Structure formats: structure tokens, C-alpha cells
Amino acid sequence: MGQRATELKVAVTGGGGFLGRRIVEMLRARGTQVRSISRGSYPELEALDVECRQADLSDKSAVHAALEGVDAVVHVAAKAGVWGKRSDFMSTNLTGTENVLAACSSQGIKRLVYTSSPSVCFDGQDHLNAGNDLPRAQRFLSPYPESKALAEALVLEADSPQLATVALRPHLIFGPRDPHLVPRLLESAAQGRLRRIGDGRNEVSLTHVDNAAWAHVCALRALEPGAACAGQAYFVCNRESVRLWDWINALLGNLGRTPVERRTPLGLARMAGALCEAGWKVLPLKGEPPITRFVALQLARSHSYDLAPLERDLGYRERLDMATATAQLVADLRRRR
């Protein structure tokens, strides 16, 4: 057996972000030495006695310098989103991961936990309680999942006796300090732009940020060359999936907002998405299109996942169930409002 997780010096890329910061906090609570690597500065992490370094992941020499002297890496940093230049996603998500892998190899780092995404497997079809045997998609409607799929493949192929690797795929992360998922959902609803796509009965897995972060801590604890999880990818989510539109409307109701009743057939939403994408590319228009084909399919299809492999191989146990996590979310949103 190698070093215990608490004895490792761990670098977390994207340590100042939503998920990265929660991972850093959990590691520090366990007494782990942590180095955060981000493009910005984060005094709140320094207050936790975290060593903070600034680096752009697309800069190979900067990444090598930032990872010098650590025992393990949790690679969370990524460019996320459903719209943007393909080159921007590839530079951060693919080239950045290549640079992290090269630094691990040249510096003898033994463990790499990579934050992937279930979208690497999303092929536009329903996936119900999908397990680890679900293959990565072959075609993509957005550069984000494409770049993450290519990077995930590199990470898992790099698994060896010299560098143990594992990929985690947390799905739709929400919770306190969420800057993305729920705030954008509420903004769209407030502006009257949110519509039910499809029949409204699709089943979706969500992930509270504490559960997502804890899965990364469990991965560090379980990962070493030859471990059951080495070279594998795992879905991460809350055990109980939800009917997406029922959950959204319950959330809106608890916040005193109007539920979403308007519906759009999936075929029409996909057509509208294709037209918007073409318009934004040709004109080009600023900001993001109001709908894309990828978003239409994500809002209409089922995508839920099986936790059994994560629990079996990483010793993971859920920290917040769905009811508790949702109640916490509502309380947090009410406080912030």
C-alpha cells in the first residue's frame, strides 16, 4: 500500500471554483496539505492554509511549475458551457489535461483524479440508471462534451504502474455557492424563457456539491496503481433521481415563483436550436443562443446513473440525500434573496 490520502500533498486545479473549492475544504478538514491552482486569486482559500498558485492550464511550463513537489492531482479545472468557440474548449479542457498528464509523468506524481462529465456519453438518447458500461458518444452537438471526452480518454489511457488515474463524472451539480445551474435556471424562468421540452416525464440525476466533492476525496483514498478503480470512469450523482420538470416546478413553487407550464415538442425545439446555432455562427451574434440542439435534448431526455460501481470500488457513501439536498438549496436561495 502507498501513502494514505491524508499524508499526500494534493494539488487541485480549479480550486477556487464551485466544485474545486468544496474539494479543497473537505481535504483540509481531513488534514491534507493542499495546493490550489487557478487563474485567479482566492484569499478565502489562503485563509484555510491552502497554498495558492496561479497558472493557465494551456501553458505547459506554468503547469509543470505549479505541480512541482505534489504527490497527487485532482484535475477539476475546465471551461464549461453549451456554446463558444471549439478552440477555446480544446485549449483548456484537452490541451490543459495533456499538460497535467505530462507534468505528472515528468515529476513522478503517482495519482491523478480527473473530473469528467456524463455528457461525454450523451448521444441524444434516453439513459436510465446507466452504469459504467455506457460507452462514450461518437458524435457531439457541443464542443464542451467533445473536449471532455477526448481528455477523459487520455487520462484513462495514461493509467499505469507509474501513474494511477481515475475519472469521475458528476452530473448537474447544485448547492450553496452554485454560480451556474440553478441561478441560470431561475433567470430563464423569471424571463419567461423556460419551457418544458418533450413530454415532461424525463428522469434525471442531480448531484449535490457535497456528494460530488466527497466522491473525489474517496477516489484519492482508494486510488493507487493496480486498484480496482484505476483506469476506470464512474458516474457521480445523488442516489435518488428526479422527474426533472416536477423538481424544477417544486423548486419554483418553494421560492414563490410561477411554475413552468408551457411546452414545446422536442422536434420543434431541436429545429429551433439548429436555426439559432446557424444564426449565431453566420451573423455572428453576441452571447449564447436561447436554445441549442444539445440543450433541447438535455432538457427532454432521461439521464440517470447507477451509483453501485462508485460505492463498490471507491467506498463512496452518499452524504446528503435528495430531499435534504433540495431543502438545503431552497433555504440557501431564500437567504440570498
- Judge whether 58 lies within some domain: yes
- Residue percentage of the chain with pLDDT more than 90: 91
- Biggest alpha carbon–alpha carbon distance for the chain: 58
- Supply the residues annotated as catalytic: 144
- Judge whether 287 lies within some domain: no
C-alpha cell at 152: 477523459
Q: Which tops the pLDDT comparison, 3 or 336?
A: 336
Cα 223 to Cα 125, 180, 231, 315, distances in angstroms: 32, 30, 10, 11
- Judge whether 337 lies within some domain: no
Q: Which pLDDT value is given to residue 285?
A: 85
Q: Which pLDDT value is given to residue 1?
A: 40
Give the Cα separation of 129 and 307 in Å (integer). 9
Q: Which pLDDT value is given to residue 4?
A: 61
Q: Which pLDDT value is given to residue 34?
A: 97
- Judge whether 243 lies within some domain: no
Give the Cα separation of 182 and 189 in Å (integer). 10
- Judge whether 252 lies within some domain: no
pLDDT at 246 over 60: yes
Number of domains in the chain: 1
Find all residues with CB under 8 Å of 66, minimum gap 6, and list them.
Answer: 11, 35, 37, 53, 55, 103
Neighbours of 68 (CB within 10 A): 14
- Judge whether 333 lies within some domain: no
pLDDT mean across residues, the chain: 94
> Which of 4-13, 143-152, 177-186, 287-296 is predicted least confidently?
4-13
Residue pLDDT, tens place only, 36-56:
999 988 999 999 999 999 999
pLDDT at 247 over 70: yes
Give, to the nearest 10 degrees, the angle between helix 181-190 and helix 322-336: 60
Q: Which pLDDT value is given to residue 111?
A: 97
Whole-structure pTM value: 0.95
User: Bridge partners of 196?
Assistant: 263
Average pLDDT over residues 278-290: 89
Residue pLDDT, tens place only, 257-268:
999 999 999 999
Find all residues with CB under 8 Å of 96, minimum gap 6, and list them.
Answer: 13, 57, 58, 63, 77, 78, 151
Question: In terms of residue numbers, what domain contains 74?
Answer: 5-171+207-237+303-318
- What is the b/e burial string over 85-114, where b = at least 16 CB atoms within 10 angstroms of the residue's CB? eeeebbbbbbbbbbbbbebbeeeebbbbbb
- Judge whether 272 lies within some domain: no
CATH number reported for the structural domain that contains residue 156 in this entry: 3.40.50.720
- Judge whether 57 lies within some domain: yes
pLDDT at 249 over 80: yes
Give the Cα separation of 197 and 270 in Å (integer). 10
